[in-house]
Amino acid sequence: MDDEIANRSEELLRDMYGRTVSLLRSHHAALFKAVKVLLNQKEINGEEIDFILNMYPPQTPLNLVLEEENPGNLAFIKQEQAEEQEQLLLTRSTPETL
């Protein structure tokens, strides 16, 4: 029984390892972008990761990231967020018409 469990566990681990490697390979550009951002910013949040995954879907050529002027920069995201927050504040502070 112990051997069966050990064999099945090993089989599951190999399968999960294979899936993980496959996902990392198919998302190579997004992974590389995230690493560049982490090296630049020292931290990354969930929204930024989602943005990166959306901007660099599976099978995106790595050259797209390598050709960027500053691949470790996500300043444009922060600019977009600031503009959205400003718009939200303007909407909330504008008196409603009756």
User: With contact defined as beta carbons under 8 Å apart, do 35 and 66 qualify?
Assistant: no
Give residue 81's pLDDT.
Answer: 57
Question: What confidence tens digit (pLDDT) does each residue in 21-36 have?
Answer: 998 899 999 999 999 9
DSSP for 46-93, please give it.
HHHHHHHHHHS-TT--HHHHHTSS-TT--HHHHHHHHHHHHHHHHHHH
The average pLDDT across 5-23 equals: 94
Q: How far apart are CA 11 and CA 3, in angstroms?
A: 12
Using only the alpha carbons of the chain, give its radius of gyration: 21
Structure pTM? 0.63
Q: What separation in angstroms does the CA of 23 have from each of 9, 18, 26, 29, 72?
A: 21, 9, 5, 11, 22
Q: Is the pLDDT of residue 16 over 50?
A: yes
Question: What confidence tens digit (pLDDT) does each residue in 53-91 have?
Answer: 998 999 999 998 889 888 888 866 555 655 665 666 667
The average pLDDT across 4-31 equals: 94
